[in-house]
Structure 1
Amino acid sequence: MSESVILNVTGMKCGGCEANVTGKLGELDGVISAKASSQGQTVQVDFNPEKISLAIIKDAIADAGYTVVSV
């Protein structure tokens, strides 16, 4: 079973930022897919809630240098 969430994220300016966020999230066990949009300032994440929590996903985005402003 998977869940999907779209997070509003500030600080992404370009394709490199998108790649940084998706790469960090792709390293996490339980993240099925991630798609970042610097233009829309969003990150869509499909994940298995039995393996990973939304809090860990948000922390990974913060660790990459960006701010999650809402769910």
Structure 2
Amino acid sequence: MSTTTVFTVTGMSCGHCEKSISEEVSALPGVTAVSASSEAGTVTVSSEQPLDEAAVRAAVDEAGYELVGRA
């Protein structure tokens, strides 16, 4: 069963930001799709299993941004 979770992320301001976050989060196990929006300040993550929010937070941090919580 697929799940979709939307997270609020601060610090994104352009397409490069969106791409950096998408690449990091896409590498997490079970993630099937990622859509980052600098305009909305959100990252939408689809996965085959429930997401480990700490792992998503770490991936966003690795990209240089801050995951604030679920939107």
TM-score range, shorter chain: 0.7 to 0.9
Normalised TM-score (structure 2): 0.87
Normalised TM-score (structure 1): 0.87
**What is the percentage of aligned positions where both structures have the same residue?**
36
- What is the DSSP-based 3-state SS (H/G/I as helix, E as strand, rest coil) of the residue aligned with 1:25? helix
- Stretches of structure 1 lacking an aligned partner (at least 5 in a row): none
Aligned residue pair count? 70
Q: What residue number does 1:54 align with?
A: 53
Q: CA deviation at 1:62?
A: 1.2
Q: What residue number does 2:6 align with?
A: 6
- What is the DSSP-based 3-state SS (H/G/I as helix, E as strand, rest coil) of the residue aligned with 2:40? coil
Moved over 4 A (4+): none
